[in-house]
Structures are given as structure tokens and as C-alpha cells.
Structure 1
Amino acid sequence: MKYISRTVWTLSLISLFTDMASEMLYPIMPIYLKSIGFSIVLIGILEGVAEATAGLSKGYFGKRSDDLGKRAPFVQIGYTLSAISKPMLAFFVYPLWIFLTRTLDRFGKGIRTGARDAILSKEATTKTKGKVFGLHRSMDTLGAVLGPSLALWYLYYYPQDYVTLFYIAFFPGVCAVLISLLLKDKNVNITGEKKWSPFFSFLSYWKTSPLIYRKVVIGLLAFTLINSSDVFLLLKAKQAGLNDSAVIGVYIFYNLVYALFSFPIGAMADRIGLRKMFVIGLSLFAIVYFGMGLITNTYGLASLFFLYGIYAATNEGISKAWISNITDKKETATAIGMYAGFQSICTMIASSLAGLIWYAFGANTAFIITGLATILVILYFLIFIESKPSNRLLSTPNL
């Protein structure tokens, strides 16, 4: 794998350890918050505020990374904030401090995302973007397998000892920070002034961005508006009769499939085209959601989670590779940061809509409506998006 540079491996290991820390806490976070007095409504508000913070900051700090011509400091600061937030969630139990700490974690994600993805883009050519982003997603998702597995193992021996897990999660976070110190900025062209710009200044990029970028992002965000949280899939599994351990097991299984398929799917996308692979993924997504609306037996659900893992491998890494191929290399962090920012906000809206439909019409209706809407998004990509980016953008050298 000569096209995978040391920098790509470094970023992939950083993401592995960070996701291990975050996903170790993901299954027990709602339980822990309820144990210290948070209501379901307050938990929802907490997650909403945290995700909104991450979303908006992705766009801003992506633009700052481009303007300042720096990547490594944004990555290092972002991962550091996320690491130190883990033990703070156990140390501070008052609602206001929990809000601030959880927001700090997501703020760290916002700071690092655009700069990190710009580094990945720079380490690849247009013909290897799928492989590079695919490997990164694979390692990132491997952390989502190891984290919950460690949490299950620990809770088997120490039931309900949630607080200790927050302290344990600090250690893989520290490993990620230490590895991030290996990153060094290469020559990055500065596109703007070094003075601080307004927080929403990144929005101006929409007017100056290539037309193909706007068309692709509109399609991606339209899909995000119907792609609700994975929590709804887990709730469906629970509703179908799986116990708590089996639900967490299904979540681990899905992430394992995601991790195993991300790199080979990225490599395949480089051969057949990123748009084609993304549309294949949307088709799998539609099949899964139609299936969730119709199937209730355990084996059927396991098959759907297997397909969902393959779909996931065609989604985030492929979409970011696609965006980096259709935008100027000097504005990669801004382009990805803007998309990732609006993606976070659209995800919140999608989960709210899915919850309302579930409540009003039932789970099966929610899944089937999502499947039908996905077909419309597939048609949009097939009809309105050309299969190849312009020659100007394809000429980006391997830096």
C-alpha cells in the first residue's frame, strides 16, 4: 500500500484511539446521565446543543485552517479538547457543567475535522482518494468496535460502575493526543488573511464554490435530512425482542462490518467512480430501511445490520473524498468543514422528524417513509450530478 503515507497512518491511528474512547461511553451515556438526574428531555437538549456546536464550528475552523495555512495545530488542539472532556463528565455532575463539558468534546471535533480531512486529501491523488479516506474510516470505525467491546467486558465484571469507564476512556484519548504530536505541517498555501474573521464567515464560500460542489452538497444534505440517528435502528432491534446485551452486540457487529469494508470499498470507488459507489450505498440504505419496516425476526435484523455496515462504508469517507476532488485544494478544509457543519445540523433535524413520525404513525411507517425518500435522493444524484469532476480539478497533484 505504497499510496498510504505515514501521515495517513498517523491520522488513522489517532482516530482509532479517539473513537475507542468516545464509543466506549456511547452505550452507557444515556444511562449515566439518567443516574445523575437528567431527564430524557434534558438529555435530548444536551445532545442537540453539543451537535450544533460541533456543526457550526466545523465550518468556521475549516476556513481558519485554510486562511492561516496550518493544519496540525487544529488537529492537535481538537483531539486534546475531546480527550480531557472524558474524565470531566464523571468529575462534574451538575447539569451546567455537564453541558459545558459535553460541548467541549464536540467543540474539539469541530476544530479538528476540516483540517484533518484536508491533510488526508493532500496525501492522496484524485485516483487514490477513496483508498485514503476509506482506510481512515476503517481505523476510525475499528475504534467503535473496540470501545463498546471494552465497555461490555468491564461492565460484566463491574455492573453499573459507569463513572470508572469515563476515567478509563481518558487513556486512549491521551494516546491519540500523543500520536497527534507527530504531525507536522507541510507547505500549505494561504488563501486569506491571518486576522480573525467573523464566526459565520465560512458561509461566504457557498457563493464562490464550484457549481458541482453546490450540487453535490445539496444532494448530500438532502440525504442527511432523512438519515436519522442509528439509535432508531437500535430501538427497532430492541422492539423486535433483543435484550440489552444483544442490542449492544448488534451495534458492535455493525461497526465491525463497517470497519472491514471501508478500505476495500474505498479502493473499489477509485476504480468505478465515487458517485457510482455513493449511489450503490444509498440503494443499500433504502433496502435496509424498507427491511426494518417489514422484518421482525432476529436473523432478518442481523442481515439488515450487515447491509447497513456495508452502506456506512460507502457514505462518510466516500462523500468527503468526493468533495475534496471537486474543490480547489487550497480550500479543502473550508469545503469539507462547511458540508460537515450543515450535516450535523441536518442530522439533528432528521432525528427529530423521525421521532415525530415514529410517535405519530409507528416505527414501521417511519422506516418505510425514509426508504421512499432515499429513492428520490438516488434519482437526484443520477439525473443532476455528472459522474466525473471537471478536468481542472482532476489535475490536482499528489502532494
Structure 2
Amino acid sequence: MSNKYIANLSETQKNAFMLIILFGIISLLGDIIYEGARSVNGPYLETLGASALIVGLVVGFGEFLGYAIRLLSGYFSDKTKAHWFFTIFGYGLLISVPLLALSNYWQFAAIFIVLERMGKGLRSPARDTILSYATKQVGTGLGFGIAEFLDQIGAVIGPLVFTFIFIGAGPIKTVADYQQGYSYFWMPFVMLIMVLFFTYFKVRSPEEFESLDLKKEGTKKIPKVFWTYSLFTFITTVGFVSFAIIGFHLKVNGIISDAEIPFFYAVAMMVDAIFGLLVGKMYDSFKSKHDNEKAGLLILGIVPLLTAVLIPLVFSYNFALIFVGMLLWGIVMGSHETVMKASIADITCINKRGTAYGIFSVIYGLALFIGAAFTGYLYDISIFWMILVLVGIELLGIPVYFMMKKQIM
């Protein structure tokens, strides 16, 4: 972002930009914590004695619960306007990640993993609503793209914590090696809480960035294209593979070392960060080109195709193919995460935004749960059939995309 760009912003836009950067830093610290943990949660559960099915169920249930709770947190944050309360309380539950260092049984580890996801569920609709107010001042795609970029820098750093620990450990990774890594997340957790409260005291009323739209839009209903987009996301996410299952595949087959598993995840997160920023700019360009606030969704046409290609790659037994698959995995993640946040800000009115984020998150979380559990179940039966079914699911998303395109145009 050039100094010239900043200089040309109005005072309101500069304040909005500051809020985006501060939340980007908060997300960066948050991602160091929970993405660092997620990069090894699958192998850690396996080390504690869990099967592929259990890993899939724990990860999937955690994701589903984390997204399902967003329906309530989104609705009540809209109803009470207590966006900051839900944001702060949700981030506070990140304490469950360093507490994973105290778990010696997979059942206890599973509880902490689920608690972390619940915290994300509580904070996400409220946080995204706060951010959406600010992004309206600088462009929703660009604003969320910047936040996603900073967010994913943390997602790169977090897994590297375990990479460096595993490099210094023995050839067989023990429970103690994993617990050492989890314990390092106390420091970013404390830093996150400090920055979060600083941001709260700095910008207590972020809705002022969009006060004119509030008066103009009143209480419009959630539009039809929102539901079609939700269906598209549901289908393409069910077929998308959780990294916990990919990490499980890499570990049990001895394809790469334990140290390389979180490194692969870090590489994917780096691609996610870079591509998320590019997608944000492209998203805004699509809106400008078609003079349509909803046209940014058209950028998602590539998602089911890329996902269908990456599935057989990440479940192969070849290092190079898996690496390419993880690069594509990062691109798809960057597309989903940037577009879903920006698009909901564009296709819903301000009074329904927290609710819309909550509804969408439930649908997304249900897809993650079904996808993770189903993938874990099929993996134990046949990798070939698992790949075939997941690719077929992704292809079902293509006609839904064209249905969405027709509604937009």
C-alpha cells in the first residue's frame, strides 16, 4: 500500500483503514495461535491414540459447532449491538490452545480443540460486522483482502513453531514434543488481548463509518442471491478437504516427516495470504466493471474446478504432487475466506449483516463437518473411492454457480 494512496484518503477513510490494520494485527496473532495448532491437531490426536474417523469427527464437530454458534452470536450481536462483547469474549477462548499442552488423552485434547472453535464462532460474525463498516470506506474486497493478508501471515508463522520444534526433536515425535509447541502460544495470546483492548478503546463505535447506509437501507430482507451463494459454498466446501485429514494421510503413510507436515501447512497459508489480497482487488474490479455490488461473486467460478484438481494430488504418495496440491489448497482457501466476508457485506443491508454472517457461517460449518467426517470415514475404507466421491461433489457446484451468475446479472 503506497504512501500516496494513504495521503489521498479522507480522515474518515484513514480511521477506517487504521481499524482494518488493527484487526489485521489481531487476526495475525490469533492465527499464529490457532492455525499453529490446527497444523498439527490431526497428527497430535493420532499420537494420543485417535483413529482417522475420530480425527475427522473431532475436527468436523469442532468446525460445525464453531460455525453453528455463529447463528446465535450473529443474531444477538445485531439485536443488542454488542459487537465488541462477542468479539472480545470469543478471542478470550483462544486460551484453550496453549492449554492443549496440558492434555495427555485425546478426549481432553478434543475438548480444547472444540472450545477454540466455539470461541471463533462467538467472535466471527461480530468481528466481521465491525470490519465491514470500515471496509465500506476503502472497498470491501480490498479491505477484507488486507485483513486476510495479515491474518494469513500469522497462519504461516504458527505452523513454523512446530516445524522448528520437530527439527530439533528426535525421529519419532512424542506427546511432549507437541505439548512444548502448544505452550509457546501463551505469548501471542497475551499480545492479542492487549491489542484487542487498545482497538476497542480507540474505536468504540465503528458503525459510524456506515451510518448513512443504515438510514438509507432500513431493514431490507436478505436477498435471494445470498441463499444461492450459500448453496454453492455448501457444495464446494463439503468436497473441500480439511488439513487435519491431509496431515493424517501424510503421517500414517510416512510420506514426509513430522516436521514437514506443519511446513506444508505454512506454505499453503502463505499462498492463501498472497492470493487472498489479489482476490480482494479482483473482487472490487468485478464490481466496478459490471457496476454491480454483487458481481464480485463471479470470481468464484474457478473454485470447484481447482478443488476437484487438488483432491487427488494431496492424497497421492508423491512429494511433488502433494506440494502442488497444497498450493492449490491455499488458493481455494484464499478465495473462500476473502470473498465470503466481502460479499456478505455487499449483498446484505447493515441491520441484517451480523445475522447474515451467522446464517452463512452455520451453512459453511455444516459443510465442513459433513465433509471432514465423511472424508475420514471414506479414507478408512478406500482412498480411491474417497477421491472419486469428493471430485463428484465439487462438480455439482458448477451448475449452482451459473444459477448464481444468472441472479447477479
TM-score using structure 2 length: 0.80
Question: Counterpart amino acid of 2:370?
Answer: I
Q: Which moved more, 1:283-292 or 1:51-60?
A: 283-292
> Residue deviations 1:255-303, cap 9 Å, x none?
111112211221112112422211123322222235557x654333322
| Structure 1 residues 264 and 28, CA gap change in structure 2 (3 angstroms) | closer
1:174-253 alignment, distance < 5 Å: 174-181=190-197, 182-183=199-200, 184-186=203-205, 188=207, 209-235=222-248, 239=253, 241-253=255-267
Instruction: Classify the secondary structure of the residue corresponding to 1:111.
Output: helix
1:50-199 alignment, distance < 5 Å: 50-82=62-94, 84-91=95-102, 93=104, 98=109, 100-125=111-136, 128-158=139-169, 160=174, 161-181=177-197, 182-183=199-200, 184-186=203-205, 188=207
Q: Is residue 299 of structure 2 the alignment partner of residue 277 of structure 1?
A: yes
Deviation of 1:306 after TM superposition, in Å, equals 2.0
Q: Is residue 387 of structure 2 the alignment partner of residue 367 of structure 1?
A: yes
CA distance in 1, matches of 2:345, 2:77: 15
Q: Is residue 342 of structure 2 the alignment partner of residue 313 of structure 1?
A: no
Q: Tell me which residue corresponds to 1:195.
A: none
Percent of aligned pairs with the same amino acid: 23
From 19, 22, 29, the equivalent of 2:34 is 22
Q: Tell me which residue corresponds to 1:340.
A: 361
CA distance in 2, matches of 1:97, 1:243: 26
| Structure 1 residues 96 and 232, CA gap change in structure 2 (3 angstroms) | closer
Question: Counterpart amino acid of 1:25?
Answer: A
> Residue deviations 1:123-155, cap 9 Å, x none?
123982111112222222221210111222123
Does the CA-based 8 Å contact 2:225-2:404 persist in structure 1?
no
Q: Is residue 388 of structure 2 the alignment partner of residue 358 of structure 1?
A: no
Provide the aligned length of Structure 1 versus Structure 2. 369
Question: Counterpart amino acid of 1:138?
Answer: F
Instruction: Classify the secondary structure of the residue corresponding to 1:76.
Output: helix
| Structure 1 residues 45 and 331, CA gap change in structure 2 (3 angstroms) | same
1:299-310 alignment, distance < 5 Å: 299-310=320-331
Q: Tell me which residue corresponds to 2:277.
A: 263
Does the CA-based 8 Å contact 2:313-2:324 persist in structure 1?
no
| Structure 1 residues 312 and 178, CA gap change in structure 2 (3 angstroms) | same
Instruction: Classify the secondary structure of the residue corresponding to 1:315.
Output: helix
Does the CA-based 8 Å contact 2:28-2:154 persist in structure 1?
yes
Instruction: Classify the secondary structure of the residue corresponding to 1:125.
Output: helix
CA distance in 1, matches of 2:42, 2:263: 17
Deviation of 1:251 after TM superposition, in Å, equals 2.0
| Structure 1 residues 45 and 277, CA gap change in structure 2 (3 angstroms) | closer
CA distance in 1, matches of 2:103, 2:320: 42
Unaligned runs of 5+ in 2: 7-12, 209-219, 287-294
Question: Counterpart amino acid of 1:171?
Answer: M
CA distance in 2, matches of 1:354, 1:165: 27
Q: Which moved more, 1:267-276 or 1:326-335?
A: 267-276
Question: Counterpart amino acid of 2:297?
Answer: R
Q: Tell me which residue corresponds to 1:393.
A: none
TM-score using structure 1 length: 0.82
| Structure 1 residues 16 and 328, CA gap change in structure 2 (3 angstroms) | same
Does the CA-based 8 Å contact 2:52-2:376 persist in structure 1?
no
CA distance in 2, matches of 1:151, 1:14: 21
CA distance in 1, matches of 2:269, 2:401: 26
> Residue deviations 1:42-74, cap 9 Å, x none?
555544443343122111011111111132221
CA distance in 2, matches of 1:370, 1:121: 33
Deviation of 1:26 after TM superposition, in Å, equals 2.7
Deviation of 1:245 after TM superposition, in Å, equals 3.1
| Structure 1 residues 226 and 330, CA gap change in structure 2 (3 angstroms) | same
Does the CA-based 8 Å contact 1:292-1:364 persist in structure 2?
no
Instruction: Classify the secondary structure of the residue corresponding to 2:135.
Output: coil
CA distance in 1, matches of 2:111, 2:347: 37
| Structure 1 residues 179 and 127, CA gap change in structure 2 (3 angstroms) | closer
Does the CA-based 8 Å contact 2:130-2:207 persist in structure 1?
no
Q: Tell me which residue corresponds to 2:212.
A: none
Task: Quote the RMSD (CA, aligned, Å).
Answer: 2.9
| Structure 1 residues 27 and 216, CA gap change in structure 2 (3 angstroms) | closer
Instruction: Classify the secondary structure of the residue corresponding to 2:97.
Output: helix
Structure 1 consecutive aligned stretches of length 4 or more whose deviation exceeds 6 Å: none
Unaligned runs of 5+ in 1: 190-206, 390-399
Does the CA-based 8 Å contact 2:33-2:158 persist in structure 1?
yes
